[in-house]
Amino acid sequence: MASSIEFYFDYGSPFSYLADTQLPALASRTGAAIIYKPILLGAIFKETGNASPVSIPAKGRYMGVELARWSRHYGVPFALNPNFPINTTRLMRGAIAAQNNGSFESYHRAIFPAFWARGLNLGDASVMQEVIAGAGLDAERILAATDEPAIKDQLRANTEEAVKRGAFGAPTFFVGDETFWGNDRLKWVEEALV
Protein backbone atom coordinates (compact mmCIF):
# COMPACT_ATOMS: atom_id res chain seq x y z
CA MET A 1 0.00 0.00 0.00
CA ALA A 2 1.34 3.44 -0.97
CA SER A 3 1.56 6.01 1.77
CA SER A 4 2.06 9.16 -0.28
CA ILE A 5 0.70 11.11 -3.23
CA GLU A 6 3.08 13.11 -5.38
CA PHE A 7 1.20 16.16 -6.67
CA TYR A 8 2.74 17.89 -9.69
CA PHE A 9 1.05 21.26 -10.07
CA ASP A 10 1.29 24.76 -11.51
CA TYR A 11 -0.55 27.70 -9.95
CA GLY A 12 -1.67 28.68 -13.44
CA SER A 13 -3.66 25.45 -13.75
CA PRO A 14 -7.26 25.92 -12.60
CA PHE A 15 -7.77 22.18 -12.39
CA SER A 16 -4.71 21.95 -10.12
CA TYR A 17 -6.40 24.51 -7.87
CA LEU A 18 -9.62 22.48 -7.78
CA ALA A 19 -7.74 19.27 -7.02
CA ASP A 20 -5.74 21.01 -4.32
CA THR A 21 -8.93 21.98 -2.48
CA GLN A 22 -9.71 18.28 -2.08
CA LEU A 23 -6.30 16.95 -1.07
CA PRO A 24 -6.40 17.74 2.67
CA ALA A 25 -9.59 15.68 3.14
CA LEU A 26 -8.23 12.88 0.95
CA ALA A 27 -5.02 12.82 3.02
CA SER A 28 -7.05 12.78 6.22
CA ARG A 29 -9.19 9.85 5.02
CA THR A 30 -6.26 7.77 3.83
CA GLY A 31 -3.40 8.85 6.08
CA ALA A 32 -1.32 9.52 2.96
CA ALA A 33 1.26 12.28 2.88
CA ILE A 34 0.97 14.81 0.05
CA ILE A 35 4.30 15.56 -1.62
CA TYR A 36 3.96 18.87 -3.46
CA LYS A 37 5.98 19.12 -6.66
CA PRO A 38 5.91 22.58 -8.27
CA ILE A 39 6.43 22.41 -12.04
CA LEU A 40 6.13 24.68 -15.08
CA LEU A 41 3.11 23.56 -17.06
CA GLY A 42 4.14 25.55 -20.13
CA ALA A 43 7.45 23.68 -20.24
CA ILE A 44 5.62 20.36 -19.95
CA PHE A 45 3.32 21.36 -22.82
CA LYS A 46 6.33 22.30 -24.93
CA GLU A 47 8.26 19.13 -24.11
CA THR A 48 5.33 16.77 -24.72
CA GLY A 49 3.70 18.53 -27.69
CA ASN A 50 0.59 19.24 -25.64
CA ALA A 51 -1.18 22.62 -25.53
CA SER A 52 -3.37 24.57 -23.16
CA PRO A 53 -7.10 23.97 -23.69
CA VAL A 54 -7.54 27.73 -24.11
CA SER A 55 -5.50 27.54 -27.31
CA ILE A 56 -8.44 25.69 -28.93
CA PRO A 57 -11.52 27.96 -28.83
CA ALA A 58 -14.19 25.28 -28.46
CA LYS A 59 -12.15 23.41 -25.86
CA GLY A 60 -11.44 26.64 -24.00
CA ARG A 61 -15.17 27.45 -23.82
CA TYR A 62 -15.93 23.94 -22.61
CA MET A 63 -13.16 24.19 -20.01
CA GLY A 64 -14.96 27.22 -18.55
CA VAL A 65 -18.15 25.18 -18.21
CA GLU A 66 -16.28 22.28 -16.60
CA LEU A 67 -14.50 24.54 -14.13
CA ALA A 68 -17.84 25.96 -12.98
CA ARG A 69 -19.27 22.46 -12.65
CA TRP A 70 -16.35 21.20 -10.60
CA SER A 71 -16.29 24.22 -8.30
CA ARG A 72 -20.01 23.71 -7.60
CA HIS A 73 -19.46 19.98 -7.08
CA TYR A 74 -16.63 20.60 -4.61
CA GLY A 75 -18.39 23.59 -3.02
CA VAL A 76 -15.33 25.82 -3.40
CA PRO A 77 -15.00 29.38 -4.65
CA PHE A 78 -13.82 29.79 -8.21
CA ALA A 79 -13.60 32.65 -10.68
CA LEU A 80 -11.97 32.66 -14.09
CA ASN A 81 -8.99 34.94 -13.67
CA PRO A 82 -9.23 37.85 -16.13
CA ASN A 83 -5.40 37.90 -16.30
CA PHE A 84 -5.16 34.23 -17.34
CA PRO A 85 -2.92 32.97 -18.77
CA ILE A 86 0.11 34.48 -17.06
CA ASN A 87 3.72 33.44 -16.83
CA THR A 88 3.88 31.49 -13.55
CA THR A 89 7.65 31.04 -13.41
CA ARG A 90 8.14 33.38 -10.45
CA LEU A 91 5.15 31.90 -8.59
CA MET A 92 6.48 28.38 -9.02
CA ARG A 93 10.01 29.38 -8.01
CA GLY A 94 8.41 31.04 -4.99
CA ALA A 95 6.85 27.70 -4.08
CA ILE A 96 10.28 26.04 -4.18
CA ALA A 97 11.74 28.86 -2.08
CA ALA A 98 8.92 28.49 0.43
CA GLN A 99 9.49 24.72 0.57
CA ASN A 100 13.16 25.37 1.28
CA ASN A 101 12.51 27.86 4.09
CA GLY A 102 9.67 25.95 5.75
CA SER A 103 6.85 28.32 4.81
CA PHE A 104 5.32 26.35 1.95
CA GLU A 105 1.97 25.61 3.58
CA SER A 106 1.23 29.31 4.17
CA TYR A 107 2.56 30.30 0.75
CA HIS A 108 0.56 27.61 -1.04
CA ARG A 109 -2.67 28.36 0.85
CA ALA A 110 -2.35 32.02 -0.18
CA ILE A 111 -1.41 31.68 -3.86
CA PHE A 112 -4.04 29.29 -5.25
CA PRO A 113 -7.08 31.23 -3.91
CA ALA A 114 -5.54 34.57 -4.86
CA PHE A 115 -5.28 33.29 -8.42
CA TRP A 116 -8.47 31.25 -8.81
CA ALA A 117 -10.94 32.64 -6.27
CA ARG A 118 -9.93 36.30 -6.10
CA GLY A 119 -8.74 36.70 -9.70
CA LEU A 120 -5.62 38.66 -8.82
CA ASN A 121 -2.90 39.37 -11.37
CA LEU A 122 -0.10 37.31 -9.84
CA GLY A 123 2.00 38.00 -12.92
CA ASP A 124 2.54 41.44 -11.38
CA ALA A 125 5.42 41.24 -8.88
CA SER A 126 3.87 43.87 -6.61
CA VAL A 127 0.59 41.91 -6.41
CA MET A 128 2.50 38.71 -5.73
CA GLN A 129 4.47 40.46 -2.98
CA GLU A 130 1.25 41.77 -1.42
CA VAL A 131 -0.35 38.29 -1.40
CA ILE A 132 2.74 36.67 0.14
CA ALA A 133 3.03 39.38 2.79
CA GLY A 134 -0.70 39.05 3.47
CA ALA A 135 -0.05 35.40 4.37
CA GLY A 136 2.32 36.57 7.09
CA LEU A 137 5.44 35.61 5.17
CA ASP A 138 8.66 37.45 4.38
CA ALA A 139 7.75 38.40 0.82
CA GLU A 140 11.04 40.11 0.07
CA ARG A 141 12.99 37.02 1.12
CA ILE A 142 10.86 34.68 -1.00
CA LEU A 143 10.93 36.95 -4.04
CA ALA A 144 14.70 37.40 -3.77
CA ALA A 145 15.12 33.62 -3.61
CA THR A 146 13.26 33.19 -6.92
CA ASP A 147 16.38 34.50 -8.67
CA GLU A 148 18.74 32.04 -6.99
CA PRO A 149 20.26 29.43 -9.33
CA ALA A 150 19.45 26.55 -6.95
CA ILE A 151 15.76 27.49 -6.94
CA LYS A 152 15.68 27.75 -10.74
CA ASP A 153 17.47 24.41 -11.01
CA GLN A 154 15.02 22.67 -8.66
CA LEU A 155 11.99 23.90 -10.61
CA ARG A 156 13.61 22.74 -13.84
CA ALA A 157 14.43 19.36 -12.28
CA ASN A 158 10.86 18.90 -11.00
CA THR A 159 9.50 19.69 -14.46
CA GLU A 160 11.92 17.34 -16.21
CA GLU A 161 11.14 14.62 -13.68
CA ALA A 162 7.42 14.99 -14.34
CA VAL A 163 7.92 14.61 -18.09
CA LYS A 164 10.21 11.59 -17.65
CA ARG A 165 7.54 9.95 -15.50
CA GLY A 166 4.87 10.51 -18.16
CA ALA A 167 3.20 13.79 -17.18
CA PHE A 168 1.73 15.82 -20.03
CA GLY A 169 -0.43 18.25 -18.07
CA ALA A 170 -1.47 19.35 -14.60
CA PRO A 171 -2.50 18.27 -12.15
CA THR A 172 -0.63 14.99 -12.34
CA PHE A 173 -0.52 12.63 -9.39
CA PHE A 174 1.67 9.63 -8.74
CA VAL A 175 0.84 6.93 -6.24
CA GLY A 176 3.92 4.77 -6.40
CA ASP A 177 4.49 4.29 -10.12
CA GLU A 178 0.84 4.72 -11.06
CA THR A 179 -0.06 7.96 -12.88
CA PHE A 180 -3.31 9.92 -12.57
CA TRP A 181 -4.02 13.07 -14.56
CA GLY A 182 -6.70 15.60 -13.76
CA ASN A 183 -8.76 16.66 -10.77
CA ASP A 184 -11.46 14.22 -11.87
CA ARG A 185 -9.15 11.28 -11.09
CA LEU A 186 -8.99 11.85 -7.34
CA LYS A 187 -11.33 8.94 -6.65
CA TRP A 188 -8.86 6.64 -8.38
CA VAL A 189 -5.95 8.26 -6.56
CA GLU A 190 -7.70 7.43 -3.31
CA GLU A 191 -8.43 3.87 -4.40
CA ALA A 192 -4.76 3.37 -5.23
CA LEU A 193 -3.86 4.26 -1.65
CA VAL A 194 -5.97 1.56 0.01
Name the phi and psi angles at 7, rounded to 5. Answer: -115, 105
CB 88 within 8 A of CB 146: no
Residue among 142, 48, 147, 9 nearest 131 (CA)? 142
**In Å, what is the CA distance from 45 to each residue of 40, 175, 194?**
9, 22, 32
Biggest distance spanned by C-alpha atoms of the chain: 45
Secondary structure (3-state) at 48: helix
Q: Kindly report the length of the chain.
A: 194
Which residues are known to be catalytic? Answer: 13
Count of CB atoms within 10 A of residue 53's CB?
A: 18
